Structure 1
Amino acid sequence: MPENEPEPWEYWLYLPNDLRAVTISRRTLRLILTMHGLIGLVDVAELLATELVSNAVRHTKGPAALRVRWSAGVLRIGAWDTDPEPPEPPGPLEGLPDAEDGRGLALVRACADLWGWQPLTRHGDRGKYVWCELAAA
């Protein structure tokens, strides 16, 4: 690892199924990125985390979690939830209405360098993890 490359790090924030979790996630993410000197990524990262956590809380009945990981100049933001069903494929941003609903993953696709999802099974519990990545400029 080059001398000027920061060490990898990772944080998990476990969340109840409560819409207030979206605000808590956004503020926690801002603090994490600021403390690690990644203030240039904060605005886009907050938007992406808001969309991912909002989907996890609004469209499932169980708890959720926000995961933030930095490694090799890439920030990965993800949301875990208890619903094993895949997320709805995002449509084009320009064709979406101005309403709040239905734009989440289209915004993620438009703003992130890469995004995806994977099903998860642990101790008999099922769910999914939806993630996106931002490369440091």
Structure 2
Amino acid sequence: MLTTVSPPWTYALRLPQDPRAPGIARRSVRAVLGAHRLCGLVDTAELLVSELVTNAYRHTEGPYGMRLHTLGRGRLRVGVWDGCPDVPAPFEGLPRRPGPDAEGGRGLALVAVCADTWGATRLPHGGKLLWVELGGARP
């Protein structure tokens, strides 16, 4: 029996400070995952990317971008970086449920529900990277 192992891959995309950026990110995710035959992850990945990129667009003024990276066995890591060092919930700890009158916070609660795991890294020259993982067998 011959087993084919696909090599790891990474795609990075710097996004414009433009309200169309979340749409660009979603279309990019759909194209990349389709090309790598990971169509089963597309809907969840698009939702997660949309939320993270929208937050980067709305809450930062500088550059930001997205990175897609395969972890093998059908797993995907999605990262969105920006220049703001503030790490939002649920990335600072346990997910917090927004109050019924809250005007924000529901999108990141979706991240906590839809992603298998998530985290944040403060970048050495300022800013942060928020990441989520989904799909396949966990390493």
Question: Per the shorter chain, which TM-score range?
Answer: 0.7 to 0.9
Total equivalences in the alignment: 131
Query: What TM-score do you get using the length of structure 1 for normalisation?
Result: 0.86
Ranges in structure 2 where 5+ consecutive residues have no aligned partner: none
Aligned residues with identical type, % of pairs: 51
Query: What does residue range 6-45 of structure 1 map to in structure 2 within 5 Å?
Result: 6-45=6-45
CA distance in 2, matches of 1:30, 1:46: 7
Query: What TM-score do you get using the length of structure 2 for normalisation?
Result: 0.85
Task: Report the AA paired with residue 53 of structure 1.
Answer: V
In the alignment, structure 1 residue 91 sits paired with structure 2 residue 96: yes
> What residue in structure 2 maps to residue 104 of structure 1?
107
Over 4 Å off, 4+ runs? 95-100
CA distance in 2, matches of 1:97, 1:76: 31
> What residue in structure 2 maps to residue 75 of structure 1?
76
Paired residue secondary structure (2:127): strand
Ranges in structure 1 where 5+ consecutive residues have no aligned partner: none
Supply the RMSD in Å over aligned alpha carbons. Answer: 2.1
CA distance in 2, matches of 1:49, 1:88: 16
CA distance in 2, matches of 1:97, 1:16: 33
Task: Report the AA paired with residue 130 of structure 2.
Answer: V
